[in-house]
């Protein structure tokens, strides 16, 4: 991935994004916020949406934000037999689902824009892979929800943290790594 972040509104939506929008619309109809005709029309538009810009207007007048626009957006990344990298200036979504099989992934949070709320989640499923997280001072990684089978989990950033540095953000990692490694490192001063 390049260091440049593509315009999120122009990014293509997945089936899961469309399904989440349909669920939001059905909930709004159940609450009496949309009538049957309006629900049918918005669901049809949701199911044929191609980009997040297509989904965003569907929540107009509703007390929710469109999937992919809200901070709780879930991003799905996968790498099979290849390297996946996210570094430089990038916007960290509230939830990342990362699947890596027989490859490597490197998420460098050093210059990243972190979501508000002081916490984000990384849901990991890795097999025969090496996953590295690089974090700046003030960012902690909670590895208590991740399991390793035939592999290793190491948090070098926590061991080398400067005492007294306040934690401003926590990355909660859940999931598992099978026959691979998960390593957290402190970013190097530049």
Q: Where are the chain's structural domains?
A: 8-59, 74-186
Give the single-character DSSP code of 93. Answer: P
Q: Supply 45's token pair.
A: 């538009």
Tokens 């097999």 found at: 127
Q: Supply 24's token pair.
A: 């939001």
**38-42, 79-83, 88-92, 108-112: which is most confident:** 108-112
Are 15 and 49 a contacting pair, CB within 8 Å? no
Are 78 and 53 a contacting pair, CB within 8 Å? no
Single pTM value for the model: 0.62
- How large is the average pLDDT for residues 77-96? 89
pLDDT at 66: 44
d(CA 18, CA 50): 9
> Alpha carbon of 154 to those of 14, 117, 138, 165, 167: distances in Å?
33, 26, 18, 20, 19
Is the predicted pLDDT of residue 110 greater than 60, yes or no? yes
d(CA 101, CA 106): 14
Q: How far is CA 55 from the centre of its chain?
A: 19
The number of residues in the chain equals 190
d(CA 84, CA 90): 14
Pairing of strands 104-108, 83-86: parallel
Is the predicted pLDDT of residue 133 greater than 90, yes or no? yes
CA angle 187-159-136, nearest 5°?
20
Tell me, letter by letter, the H, E, C secondary structure of 18-29. HHHHHHHHHHHH
- Confidence band of 71 (pLDDT split at 50, 70, 90): very low
d(CA 148, CA 178): 6
């Amino acid at each position: 991935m390049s260091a440049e972040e593509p315009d999120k509104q122009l990014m293509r939506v997945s089936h899961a994004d469309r399904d989440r929008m349909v669920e939001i619309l059905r909930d709004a109809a159940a609450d009496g916020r949309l009538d049957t005709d309006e629900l049918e029309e918005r669901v049809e538009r949701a199911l044929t949406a191609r980009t997040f810009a297509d989904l965003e207007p569907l929540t107009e007048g509703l007390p929710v934000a469109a999937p992919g626009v809200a901070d709780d957006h879930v991003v799905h990344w996968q790498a099979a037999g290849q390297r996946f990298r996210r570094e430089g200036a990038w916007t960290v979504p509230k939830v990342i689902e990362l699947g890596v099989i027989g490859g490597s992934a490197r998420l460098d949070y050093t210059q990243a824009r972190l979501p508000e709320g002081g916490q984000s989640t990384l849901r990991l499923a890795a097999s025969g892979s090496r996953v590295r997280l690089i974090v700046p001072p003030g960012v902690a990684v909670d590895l208590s929800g991740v399991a390793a089978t035939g592999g290793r989990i190491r948090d070098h950033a926590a061991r080398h943290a400067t005492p007294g540095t306040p934690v401003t953000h926590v990355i909660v990692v859940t999931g598992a790594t099978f026959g691979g490694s998960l390593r957290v490192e402190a970013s190097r001063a530049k």
